């Protein structure tokens, strides 16, 4: 082991008499490590599939590709350094920084893959979780990993973080003014994640704008809404901070509000019709009697006696609601007809007494003749 560590340390120096031998050993070492890693990863995957934990699959899947990258790229950079030191007049010292950046990139890449796998695992195995919240946490974690990875990489490149932060304070003001719309959309997206007026899958609409449909994705810059005619609608997140949004998916009941018009000649049975309709609604299995239920003689229309029917269904699903509404309206038709009444339609009565008297007199003269 001590000889191996001594040999490995000598590779960092670059120049060597046995440089071709060292490159061959590095190639052989990479091949052995790669073969061993393939066998080990397969074994770990088999064990993970049999375990009851869901996170081990996400972890193994996340580290498989980054470790394979390191097995080949790290010795490759060492071999490149040996070639540069022995075959050229240049120094391979800069390759040391690249190797350090490779480690940083591998860690960042692994964490990105792990976050993505965990997000997929949570949504697949725990469907009761809010997809919007899971996506928001995933994006925030990616942003944190990216920021820390970038800062560590800059430090390895020799950049002063204090100077960078000072420049960021001044430059951030300029960038913020130039990209205020982008920032407004970003913070608008953050407010959507924290306030949660709607989530992915909700049916929303805005009376202030022509916005209505099902939410497909909430990003940091825009929200994608699928309209009912299947067109995608891309809405900047900043819009939601200045408009009223109605979340129809969170309704507790759906309302049935109808006006039933009877003929004026059916005035004697209006009370009986009202009573029977109300009884029918109170006994209907799909009507929520805990909510407001009104059936009453409401107004005198131009050609009808209007009965107000106001009630709520138990279901909030659109298709089931339409079925319940249809059933209620058909039962109202049966009740009206069972009392010998019928529905009114617009009629016009002409009052012409002088013309009628003249016509009757003419008819009488004709009959007498």
Report the SS3 class of residue 233.
strand
What is the mean predicted confidence (pLDDT) over 238-260?
Answer: 90
Q: How many CB atoms lie within 10 A of CB 17?
A: 8
Name which of 185, 287, 280, 193 is nearest 237 in CA terms: 185
- Give me the CATH code for the 253-338 domain, please: 3.30.70.100
> Quick one: what percent of the chain has pLDDT higher than 90?
28
Q: How many CB atoms lie within 10 A of CB 225?
A: 23
**Which pLDDT belongs to residue 356?**
58
pLDDT in tens, 267-295: 999 999 999 999 999 999 999 999 999 99
Q: Which residues contact 303 (CB under 8 A, 6 or more apart)?
A: 261, 264, 344, 345, 346, 347
What is the mean predicted confidence (pLDDT) over 257-266?
Answer: 92
Q: Give the pLDDT band (50/70/90) at residue 338.
A: very high
Q: What order do you get walking across the sheet with 211-218 strand by strand? A: 232-236, 222-226, 211-218, 203-206, 246-247
Checking if the pLDDT of 7 tops 60, the result is no
Position with higher pLDDT, 161 vs 26: 26
CA gap 194, 206 in Å, rounded: 20
Q: Give the pLDDT band (50/70/90) at residue 167.
A: low
Checking if the pLDDT of 313 tops 90, the result is yes
Position with higher pLDDT, 261 vs 173: 261
What are the residue ranges spanned by the domains of the chain? 2-156, 180-249, 253-338
CA gap 55, 129 in Å, rounded: 16
**Which pLDDT belongs to residue 260?**
93
Q: How many CB atoms lie within 10 A of CB 367?
A: 7
Q: Is the pTM of this model over 0.85?
A: no
Mean pLDDT: which of 3-17, 43-57, 178-192, 278-292 is highest?
Answer: 278-292
Q: Give the pLDDT band (50/70/90) at residue 87.
A: low
Using left for φ > 0, alpha for ψ between -120 and 50, and beta otherwise, residue 42 falls in alpha
**Which pLDDT belongs to residue 127?**
58
Q: Give the pLDDT band (50/70/90) at residue 99.
A: confident
What helix, strand, coil percent values describe the chain, rounded to 5?
65, 15, 25
Name which of 144, 142, 163 is nearest 154 in CA terms: 163
Q: Which residues contact 312 (CB under 8 A, 6 or more apart)?
A: 253, 254, 255, 256, 287, 288, 291, 292, 293
What is the mean predicted confidence (pLDDT) over 217-239?
Answer: 88
pLDDT in tens, 120-159: 877 777 655 566 677 777 888 888 888 888 888 887 777 7
253-338 has the same fold as 180-249 = no
Kindly provide the b/e burial profile for residues 70-101, where b requires at least 16 CB atoms within 10 angstroms of the residue's own CB.
bbebbbebbbebbebbbeeeeebeebeeeeee
CA gap 31, 146 in Å, rounded: 31
Name which of 222, 282, 213, 299 is nearest 249 in CA terms: 213
DSSP structure string for 77-138? HHHHHHHHHHHSSS--HHHHHHHHHHHHHHHHHHHHHHHHHHHHHHHHH-TTS-HHHHHHHH
The token duo for 153 is 């990489």
**Which pLDDT belongs to residue 276?**
95
CA gap 308, 297 in Å, rounded: 6
Q: Give the pLDDT band (50/70/90) at residue 13.
A: low
The second-level CATH assignment, the architecture, of 180-249 is Roll (2.30)
CA angle at residue 37 from 34 to 39, to 5 degrees?
A: 115
């Amino acid at each position: 082991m001590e000889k191996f560590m001594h040999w490995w340390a000598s590779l960092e120096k670059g120049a060597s008499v046995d440089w071709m031998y060292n490159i061959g050993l590095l190639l052989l070492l990479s091949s052995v490590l790669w073969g061993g890693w393939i066998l080990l990863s397969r074994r770990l995957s088999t064990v993970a599939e049999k375990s009851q934990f869901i996170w081990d699959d996400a972890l193994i899947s996340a580290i498989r590709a980054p470790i394979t990258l390191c097995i080949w790229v790290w010795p490759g950079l060492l071999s490149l350094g040996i070639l540069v030191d022995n075959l050229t007049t240049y120094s391979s010292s800069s390759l040391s920084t690249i190797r350090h950046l490779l480690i940083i990139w591998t860690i960042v890449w692994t964490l990105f893959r792990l976050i993505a796998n965990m997000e997929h695992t949570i949504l697949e195995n725990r469907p009761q979780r809010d997809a919007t919240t899971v996506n928001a946490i995933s994006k925030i974690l990616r942003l944190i990993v990216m920021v820390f990875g970038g800062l560590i990489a800059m430090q390895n490149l020799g950049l002063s973080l204090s100077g960078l932060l000072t420049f960021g304070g001044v430059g951030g003001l300029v960038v913020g003014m130039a990209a205020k719309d982008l920032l407004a959309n970003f913070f608008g997206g953050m407010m959507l994640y924290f306030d949660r007026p709607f989530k992915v899958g909700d049916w929303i609409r805005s009376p202030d704008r022509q916005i209505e449909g099902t939410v497909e994705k909430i990003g940091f810059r825009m929200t994608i809404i699928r309209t009912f005619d299947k067109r995608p609608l891309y809405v900047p997140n900043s819009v939601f901070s200045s408009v009223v949004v109605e979340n129809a998916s969170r309704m507790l009941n759906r309302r049935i509000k109808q006006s039933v018009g009877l003929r004026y000649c059916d005035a004697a049975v209006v009370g009986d019709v009202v009573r029977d309709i109300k009884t029918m609604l109170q006994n209907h299995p799909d009507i929520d009697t805990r909510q407001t239920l009104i059936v009453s003689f409401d107004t005198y229309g131009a050609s009808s006696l209007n009965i107000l029917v106001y009630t709520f269904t138990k279901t909030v699903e659109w298709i089931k609601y339409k079925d319940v509404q249809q059933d209620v309206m058909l039962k109202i038709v049966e009740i009206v007809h069972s009392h010998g009444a019928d529905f009114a339609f617009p009629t016009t009565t002409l009052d012409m007494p002088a013309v009628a008297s003249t016509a009757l007199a003419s008819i009488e003269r004709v009959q007498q003749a």
